Structure 1
Amino acid sequence: MSNSTAAAVLTTTDLAEAIRAVRILLAISGGSPEVDYDARITSPDVLARVLHVLPNPDWWSMEGPERGSAKAGDDPAGCLPIHLSHWGAPDSAEPFIAALGPEPAALRWDLDGWPAVPEAQLELITEKYAYLTLTVNSRDLYQDEPSQDHTVHVHVRSEIETDRIGWLADRISGRFTGRTESAPF
């Protein structure tokens, strides 16, 4: 198992701006990445909307899996609040975001890599360290810091790669805030 460093490069209350930034960074990375969905859901209405977008996610009660889980065949609506997780379906990312309302979530795109940028002396970064995360209604990767804004994180090998982080931030009119998190994968 390896870790990447997730660097916050844009925090905004404007969800459309955050989505625009994600689209730009996805275009820079190239390829067609898989997406990991991770959310904390407390509302039956939000749960219904999310299940419409992601019909068979993995989930478990935030009070513990013994209180209810997808593996046990329980009804998630009767086990709220739940932690929901899903993998795949990149075309479901924006509908998932729209379904969330105020609930916190993170979407992580597993990229093919960050490109080499010779004029900036940046080498190719392979998929092992190239991810992109959008946290919705949360500032951190794991929804431990709920907020009313949204943060775009670029993942690199380590926080000392400030040139790469800054170059990516510049592409979305963002800036490296200095805030990083270790992201085990």
Structure 2
Amino acid sequence: MSNSAAAAVLTTADLSEAIRAVRTLLGLADVSQAEVDFEGVISSPAVLAQVRDVLPDLVWWASAGKEHGSSEAGDDPAGCLPIRVYDWCRPLDRAEPFIAALGPDPAAVRWDLDGWPAVPEAGLEAISQKWAYLTLAVNSRDIYQEEPSQDHTVYVHARDRNGDQLPRVHWLAAQVGGRFTGRVEIAPL
């Protein structure tokens, strides 16, 4: 397993603005075989029902630990709230319905892209799938849902913190009207 540096490029209290930024970035990326991954913390039966309508085969476990309930054990998630949910390798069209189903609950949606294009006028070479990711943290200040918030943050992933990808991070931030402030989280891939 490798890690990437998830660089925050836009933070906003307006979820529609964050989604517009994601759509813009997806429009720049190669998404021919892209997938989307989900994780979050579900606290209410209403949000759970909405999320399960979007992702019926959701993997989950009780926030208090798997011994308090899990999908693996066949438990009823509604009786184990709050729960942590995970779903991987879904088609891109599942992302926005998942986000809409969340209500106030925190989550992260990560798009596994096929690559970022070359941008010769900015001196940027094409980036392969291994380093092309985009994450939207919804109702959270971080990608791990450890700091719930009413803000939403768009992250672009770079190879590492040593600066070789900073020009791309800055360029992508500019495309969505954001800016890289230096906030980076290490994200396992």
The residue that corresponds to 1:10 in the other structure is: 10
* TM-score (norm: length of structure 2): 0.95
Greater mean alpha carbon deviation, residues 72-81 or residues 30-39: 30-39
* Cα distance in 1, alignment partners of residues 44 and 75 from structure 2: 17
1:131 and 2:126 equivalent? no
Identity of aligned residues (%): 65
Q: CA deviation at 1:136?
A: 0.2
Deviating runs (4+, > 3 A) in structure 1?
Answer: none
Q: Write the deviation string for residues 26-80 of structure 1: whole angstroms up to 9, x where unpaired.
A: 1101224100010101111110111111111100011110111001111000011
Where does structure 1 lack aligned partners over 5 or more consecutive residues?
Answer: none
The residue that corresponds to 1:182 in the other structure is: 186
The residue that corresponds to 1:110 in the other structure is: 112
* Cα distance in 1, alignment partners of residues 123 and 29 from structure 2: 17
The residue that corresponds to 2:85 in the other structure is: 84
Contact residue 18 and residue 151 of structure 1 kept, 8 A = yes
Matched residue SS, 1:128? helix
Greater mean alpha carbon deviation, residues 48-57 or residues 24-33: 24-33
Q: What is the letter of the counterpart of residue 180 of structure 2?
A: F
Greater mean alpha carbon deviation, residues 84-93 or residues 142-151: 84-93
Matches within 5 A, 1:137-156: 137-156=139-158
Where does structure 2 lack aligned partners over 5 or more consecutive residues?
Answer: none
The residue that corresponds to 1:45 in the other structure is: 46
Q: How many residues align?
A: 185
Contact residue 3 and residue 129 of structure 1 kept, 8 A = no
Q: CA deviation at 1:96?
A: 0.8
1:163 and 2:159 equivalent? no
How big is the alpha-carbon RMSD for the aligned residues of Structure 1 and Structure 2?
0.9
* Cα distance in 1, alignment partners of residues 81 and 188 from structure 2: 27
* TM-score (norm: length of structure 1): 0.97
The residue that corresponds to 1:99 in the other structure is: 101
Contact residue 35 and residue 107 of structure 1 kept, 8 A = yes
